[in-house]
Every structure is written in C-alpha cells, then in structure tokens.
Amino acid sequence: MKNILLALLVFNTFALMAEEPDSSKVKKEKKELTAEQTAKKVRINNAFNKFSRDRFAIDFLGTNWIHDGANGFKTKWYSRGINVYFYWDFRIKQSRFSFAPGIGYSATNIYSRHAMKEDSASVTYFEALPNPDEYKVNKVTLQYIDIPLEFRIKTNPDKLDNVWKFAIGFKAGIRVDAHTKTRIKNANGTKVFVERRFPDFSLFHAGPTLRIGYSSFNITAYYGIIGVFKKDLGPKANAFSVGISFNGL
C-alpha cells in the first residue's frame, strides 16, 4: 500500500512539472509584445505630430439664410462664402483628442433678385427688383474676423499615416464690412453700384460648427444663432453654411 501511494505522489509531481510553463519563454513573449506595442505607439505619435495638426484651414462654402420670406424675398441657391482660419492644435496628453483655438477671416455672399432698402423708421426690408433681367449681379456681402474653437478627435493612422477626423466646435466673430453690390447691364451699358450704408446688420455672429473628414479633405457646417439683422431692425434671418474644407500644416 505504501508503494502505491509513493508511486501516485511521484506521478503527480511529474505531471505538475510538465504543466508548469517555461518562465523564460513567457518573459520573452511578454517582452516582444511590449516592444511591439511601444513601436506602434511611437509610430502613431509620430504620425499625429507629422500629419494631423491641421493648423491651416480654408473652407469653400455654400451659404444662405433661413428667413421669414417677407415681401416674397428669396435667396439664390448659389449663394456662397469662404473661411480662412489658422489654428493652434493642443493635443491632450498624447491621446487622439485635442483642443484647437484659432483666428481667421470669413465672408458670405447672399444673392437674390431683391433690393435691400430702409423704410421711414430706418428698418431694413427687401423689395423685388423692377427689371430683374437687367441685374447680372445682386448680392449682400458680409465679412467678419472670427475666433473659431474646435474639440477634435482622430482615429489611429492607417497605412498611409492618414486619419479620420471629427471636430465639433463654436465660432464667434465681429463684422468688419457689410455692403451690397449690383451690376446692371442694359442698352445704356454696364454699371456697377456698391453701397455701404446699412447699419441694421448685427455687429456679431456666432454659432456651432462641425467638421468631419479624412486626411486633408473635410466636410464642414455652421449655423448662426445670432440673427443677421439687429432685433426689430430687419427681417428675421439666420445664416448657415455647408461646404468642403482643406486642412494642412
């Protein structure tokens, strides 16, 4: 009986020794895995630092107004604008998140077949053009100096070291110019008129922004929460824009 118990004890000891993993092999595999993870992290960091700062952005926009349509006023679908911004991109603790304040210039051109006028109470309104076919250009131009802010999220770089990007933000700006421009062509020739005498535009504009895209190409959008005109001094109108954005540096 003692011989049987001794044999069982020896057998179990050898079985446990056979199942025990080779500690040196485990350490080697763990070391190799750590080195691979470190190399990947370094590559991702280098890609973020080299390709994805997006310091410079230029946006080509389709822009328009959401308005009350008083007096049959309609804006043209081809109204357009542009943004030129420079950002400072602050990456958050070597993560894929960053915060980017900036500064820049924006302009919108709103085309219509209505003239902008003022009534006896100095309130701005729009009136249909008398001979619209003679007006080759009829637009309202607004220009601003902007402070845009973006909170950015980026995916890990792909094989080309490019990333998908998503940015939600807010911008505010002060108006530096507002004017109308009309170009009339008829039997008497071509005449161009530019007027800068409209004080009823809001001094500021502001609203949320959105930007999403891949590499240097993005889709961008904006909605103005401040009316285009001062309260009770013009038609109710809010600006919005959707367009393409090219980022670099």
pLDDT tens for each residue of 204-228: 999 999 999 998 899 999 999 999 9
Percent with pLDDT over 90 in the chain: 55
- Categorize the per-residue pLDDT at 27 as very low, low, confident or very high, splitting at 50, 70 and 90: low
3-state secondary structure 59-117: EEEEEEEEECCHHHCCECCCCEEEEEEEECCEECCCCCEEEEEEEEEEEEEEEECEEEE
CA–CA dist 195, 180 (Å, integer): 5
pLDDT of 107-130, one tens digit each?
999 999 999 888 878 889 999 998
Whole-angstrom CA distances from 158 to 43, 94, 175, 217 are: 11, 17, 41, 15
- Which pLDDT score, from 0 to 100, does residue 199 have? 83
Higher pLDDT: 126 or 53? It is: 126
- Which pLDDT score, from 0 to 100, does residue 117 have? 87
Residues 6+ apart with CB under 8 A from 114: 71, 72, 73, 74, 126, 127, 128, 129, 138
Q: Which of 80, 110, 74, 75 is nearest to 243 (CA)?
A: 80
Residues 200 and 230 sit within 8 Å (Cβ to Cβ) = yes
Provide the whole-model pTM: 0.79
